[in-house]
A = this chain, B = another copy of it.
């Protein structure tokens, strides 16, 4: 899967994984402890979404984030 260079890519990745797991937005929102509306905006790539909540969602999905520097 490609690198995340913007919020659209992040939203798409989250949405794809959610659908792969056959979970609805309502269910994932509940699992993550965020509002459904937040999850929708996150999946749509809204840049203003808060990082902490986004990480909660990814954790609930079992997604891991890797930071790659030139030296890593």
Contact = CB atoms under 8 A, between A and B. Distances in A.
Given A5-B59, A59-B5, A64-B3, A10 B51 contact: yes
Interface string A28-57: 000000000000000000111111111100
Nearest to A16: B69
Contacts of A7: 51-52, 55
Nearest to A49: B51
A59 to B, nearest CB: 7
User: DSSP majority for the A interface?
Assistant: mixed
Interface residues of A, number: 35
Contact of A4 (B13, B55, B70, B71): B55
